[in-house]
Amino acid sequence: MQQGGLAGAGLVAARASAQMPGMKMAAGRPVAKSLDAMKLASFVDPLPLPVLQQPQGRRSSVTLGARDAPYYAVRIREIQDKLHRDLPPSRLFGYGATSAPVVFEARSNEGVLIDWINDLPAKHFLPLDAPHPGMEDAPPTRISTHMHGARVPAVSDGYPDNWYGPGKRRLEYYPNHQEATALWCHDHAMGVGRFNIFAGLMGWYLLRDDVEQALGLPSGKYELPLLIYDRSFTPQGQLYYPNPPDMGAWSQEFLGDAMVVNGKVRPYCEVEPRRYRLRIANTANSRFFALSLSNGQSFHVIGSDQGLLAAPVEATRLVLAPSERTDLIVDFSLARGENVLQSGEFDLMQFRVGKAGVADESYIPKVLRPIARIPEQSAVRTRVLTLNEYDNDSGMAMVMLLNRKHWVDPVTEVMKLGTTEIWSLANLTQDTHPIHLHMVRFQVLDRRPFAVGDYLATNALPLRYTGPALPPPPHEMGWKDVVQCPPGTVTRIIVPFEPYVGRYVWHCHILEHEANDMMRPYDIIA
């Protein structure tokens, strides 16, 4: 049996304060600034299902190249909703009217227009960072919506600097020239993206095609899209983000004590004793989730970030990094009574499995979708790119960089449209970083340990490897847009740079790292 997950994937928490988020020290004693969410009753709220969005007619856009496409108008607003039975309504930002995620459904090769309308108030309800240089007059509630995993022209990618404030709107076009997969939308505005996502700006975008629909997978009410993330609350039941943090000049990671699924803290879901398809996205700021079922039963992984795998992979545990998605089939006929989806020591949600037998016409095919592996010799270039971490003089705050470059530095990664490159991501830090490339999809080649100290002493290539290259586990053998890069390891990916030219972004998807300053632009040129 294959075990999902990567060695070292949980190391993202290695530098996290020993205190819980929201605790500070006063005269040697901890003083609570946040509610102890572990004391909230578990499994008292039903799981909210994503709210399907309906188009408001059809439109064209000559500028964006859209002809007679379904048109959606999404008003982004401040809302209030209860995230737990025993909490008061919390202030949130939403693409919809409740804490439940919205979901768009589209078909491959049928484009969609979405009008993202900023109806937020002028003031943010979370404590923001000091403005970046040159952004002192930027509105606190600016937004820039990114469709994560979408292969889109640069003008519709949600570039961080393409933000706009309240009262403004932006029409984006998603051509959907890609295979069936689960994408998710979230905010990406420079300087406030992590706060906007924390406030609730995230949702689903499910792309369908004929190949997927012909497989006989569980569908309809037997397909459950699940956004999983963590949060903390003030004693008054409002969202709590420690900024400025209790230790350091910025929050190096955020780890909350309330596990949230689809907008509710540790909910329950009544299911029939049959196969279900679970579409799971980790939308947490920093937390990795090691997914398993409480009875130890296995499940089948049938897809990853960019769609179906070639064949199902049986597993009992799967580590999901921030922004990674997985596609699972769980047979609840093997767990009559109840079962709990867990992550390590945390319960995420409870499945209440019915006892009466039911008909189940779904099945798990032995073959899902052909996936040709990209030959390494097709790459026109190999780049060694470092993942860096630097302390400042106080020894408390630090800056996280890609290839020793800040966001504002000139672009250094320029690729020609239609070419393929190998990126060797050399992690010099103590964290596992989930690295995301906008617009493109890629395949994981291998991971290999190297002598970090030797490189740091000289900052010169070549790297000295200290062990053999290990191939990716079976659940990583499909198309990806996020890759886990363990510490002290070179993670190699092979990337076809297609199908659009323009300026895009690559970054660590730990949102606190991305904001400080682990994000870089890259260009694809004709």
Tens digit of each residue's pLDDT (9 = 90 or more) over 70-100: 999 999 999 999 999 999 999 999 999 999 9
What pLDDT is recorded for position 249? 52
- Is the pLDDT score of 246 beyond 70? no
pLDDT value of position 100: 98
Given a cut of 70, is residue 396 above it in pLDDT? no
Where residue 307 falls (left for φ over 0; alpha for ψ -120 to 50; beta otherwise) is: left
Residue 211 domain-assigned (yes or no): no
- Residues 454-483, mean pLDDT to the nearest whole number: 96
The pLDDT assigned to 162 comes to 97
For 75, 387, 481, the CA distances from 90, given in Å and listed in that order, are 19, 37, 33
For 341-390, how does the pLDDT look when each residue is reduced to its tens digit (9 = 90+)? 899 889 999 999 998 889 999 999 999 999 999 999 999 999 999 999 98
The answer on pLDDT for 136 being more than 80 is yes
* Residue with the two structure tokens 């992984």: 301
What was the pLDDT predicted at 21? Answer: 35
- Examine residue 224 and state whether it is found in any structural domain, yes or no: yes
Is residue 391 domain-resident?
no
For residue 419, name the pLDDT band (cuts at 50, 70, 90): very high
**What are the two backbone dihedrals, phi and then psi, of residue 432, each rounded to the nearest 5 degrees?**
-85, 125
Domain assignment of residue 349, yes or no:
yes
At residue 194's C-alpha, the angle toward residues 476 and 492, to 5°, is 25
CB-CB contact of 502 with 240 (8 Å): no
In a domain, 19, yes or no: yes
Amino acid at the residue 458: T
Please determine, for residue 8, whether its predicted confidence score (pLDDT) is greater than 70: no
- Sign of torsion, CA 513 184 328 483? negative
- Asked if residue 53 has pLDDT above 60, the reply is yes
Mean pLDDT throughout 206-229? 98
Contact criterion met (CB below 8 Å) for 441 and 151: yes
Assign 397 a pLDDT band (cuts: 50, 70, 90). Answer: low
Query: Cα dist. 103→52, 54, 439 in Å?
Result: 5, 9, 20
pLDDT above 80: residue 18? no
- Please report the pLDDT score of residue 90 as a whole number: 98
What's the distance, Cα to Cα, between the start and end of the chain in Å? Answer: 46
pLDDT digits (tens, 9 = 90+) for 437-451: 999 999 999 999 999
List CB contacts of 130: < 8 A, sequence separation 6 or more: none
Tell me how far the alpha carbon of residue 297 is from its chain's centroid.
26
Residues whose CB is less than 8 angstroms from the CB of residue 221 and which lie 6 or more positions away in sequence, other chains included: none
Q: What per-residue confidence (pLDDT) applies to 149? A: 98
Alpha-carbon dihedral sign for residues 477, 480, 486, 489: positive
Q: Looking at the domain assignment, is residue 63 inside a domain?
A: no
At residue 337, does pLDDT exceed 60? yes
pLDDT at 130: 81
Q: Which CATH number goes with the domain that contains 338? A: 2.60.40.420
Q: 227 vs 96, 247, 296, 385, 471, CA distance in Å? A: 15, 29, 22, 31, 29
Give the contacts of 211 (CB within 8 A, at least 6 positions apart).
Answer: 179, 180, 308, 369
Task: Name the one residue in this structure whose structure tokens are 């509105």.
Answer: 139
Pair type for strands 223-231 and 258-261: antiparallel
Domain that holds residue 252: 9-33+216-353
Over residues 469-517, the pLDDT tens digits come to 999 999 999 999 999 999 999 999 999 999 999 999 999 999 999 999 9
Separation CA 506–CA 122 (nearest Å): 30
Q: Is 122 helix (H, G, I), strand (E, B) or coil?
A: coil
Rounded to the nearest 5°, which phi and psi values hold at 9? -65, -25
Q: What is the average pLDDT score of the chain?
A: 91
Least confident of 185-194, 232-241, 335-344, 497-506: 335-344
Give the type of residue at 57. G
- Residues 485 and 434 sit within 8 Å (Cβ to Cβ): yes
Residues present in the chain in total: 526
The pTM score is: 0.93
Q: Quick one: pLDDT at residue 245?
A: 53
* Count of structural domains, the chain: 1
Supply the pLDDT for residue 338: 79
Residue 65 within a domain: no
Confidence label for 336 from pLDDT (cuts 50, 70 and 90) = confident
Please give the pLDDT value at position 393: 55
Residue 390: what pLDDT?
A: 87
For 255-291, the pLDDT digits (tens) are 999 999 999 999 999 999 999 999 999 999 999 999 9
pLDDT at 9 over 80: no
DSSP string for 364-377 = --S-----PPPPGG
Could you tell me the pLDDT band of residue 242, with boundaries at 50, 70 and 90?
confident
pLDDT value for 86: 98
CA 125 from centroid of its chain's CA atoms: 23
